[in-house]
Amino acid sequence: MDACCLVAVKPAGLLSVPGRGDDKQDCLATRLQAIYPDALVVHRLDMATSGLWLMARGLAMQRRLARAFEQRQVHKRYEAAVAGTPSGTSGEIALPLAADWPNRPRQQVDHVHGKPSLTRWQVLGPGPLPGTTRLALEPVTGRSHQLRVHLLAIGHPIVGDALYAPPDVATAAPRLWLHATDLQLAHPGTGESMHWTSAAPF
């Protein structure tokens, strides 16, 4: 944390930003803004996802960081535990994604209306449970639920994913086993290369 930006570790089950309704106002953004009133949102993590989350300090920094995200100058890495064992040690998933409107907030692979989406993955080793694998994930694009839908599409849903995984995989863990472990970008004030890490809690 400094005068330009702050980085927090979001717990699973907490919203990044306020949702609709009085019961969805508690979130990491408002908790941080109570301490740092100039903190502003530049990106989001799914409620079920934990890990590193960045906020800007003031409008000028928000604009710079938002531009960095848009231009893919922010490098994010996640860890996940997935069902089964992917073939090979690394690969890419390039499948277009779009909202599944009748079943919102679900997203889906849509070859007609979907936006191009790319995820890179690498096997890190066995997962926390028998029959699971730990993966490092790099979302080159930043679509909503991209990692969750892409891994489901190749037959390896994330363990604990109540929205997308089949029941036996969804209930095998008390939470979604997806954590934002690495965040790397040029400091919005100085241009210095910054790198934050947070170990996956599963």
Is 100 in the active site?
no
Those residues with Cβ within 8 angstroms of residue 195's Cβ, 6 or more apart along the chain or in another chain: 182, 183, 184
Token pair recorded at residue 6 = 């702050």
Q: What are phi and psi of 10, to 5 degrees?
A: -80, 130
Determine the Cα–Cα distance for residues 16 and 86; give it in Å rounded to an integer.
31
Those residues with Cβ within 8 angstroms of residue 174's Cβ, 6 or more apart along the chain or in another chain: 160
Q: Which of 181, 202, 147 is nearest to 7 (CA)?
A: 181
Q: Which of 46, 110, 161, 168 is catalytic?
A: 46
H helix and E strand count, the chain: 4, 11
Catalytic machinery residues? 46
